[in-house]
A = this chain, B = another copy of it.
């Protein structure tokens, strides 16, 4: 433990568990108050059962760290922030995630715990974040996006299923019913300026300035009093967070609709077209998802 004696925490150390090795993320505890988490799961940062398990471990650390004020989530891949969920042809892996401490399915459990964690969570978005990737950024407290290099969307309805991780609850509370229905039902990508206009993100920032601006905000927050941040956020939580009970029915619908033969066939066509790889399909998924429709 001697190597951590100089770390800036109340008792002189950041808990060792922060320094474990991770698979799909890298974790950089820059100071006692500030942690940066970088998604790094080549080739396109899909979210898999492994990712969810690691994020669940991470949110447990975040929840119980009285020194930590701010966590920034960014991506090692400038073209993909978090592509979307990938079952890896093995639904059993996802099923094995089970339920979390909130009593919700592991993915929902992670998202609701992240949204209530007593720290400021910031998604610094460069590249594509669709489906579960969008659900992740929506569970963060704030979202800043590259003006020139962002694609956000919920493409699920275009594949005959519905999103399972909460965007029907979160999007309309951010941007109103009309724009949320457009995002959810039309299912196309939103670029940076449109995401800013709709309130999907706090702001779109010039790509070359995004990192510096987010860094300045995080460095500022890192110096603040932890208790003030935690309490102020908790009051906003009470006024804004959907009740946990709003999430599970949509996830159950997602699984039910996904199990239909027509949807299994559509996902097989998407894989043939390049889903889960760094393909033209993935780069233009909002536009090209319709190529997988039966009568395409």
Contacts and interface: CB of A to CB of B under 8 A. Distances in A.
B235 A249 contact: yes
A228 B141 contact: no
Contacts of A186: 217, 220-221
A157 B295 contact: no
Contacts of A37: none
B228 A202 contact: no
Interface string A54-65: 000000000000
Contact of A181 (B142, B182, B188, B249): B142
Interface string A74-102: 00000000000000000000000000000
Contacts of A241: 177
A35 to B, nearest CB: 16
Contacts of A290: 220, 223
A294 to B, nearest CB: 9
Interface of A: 120, 141-143, 156-163, 168-169, 171-182, 184-188, 196-197, 199, 201-203, 217, 220-221, 223-225, 227-229, 231-233, 235-236, 238-242, 246, 249-250, 253, 257, 262-263, 290, 293, 295
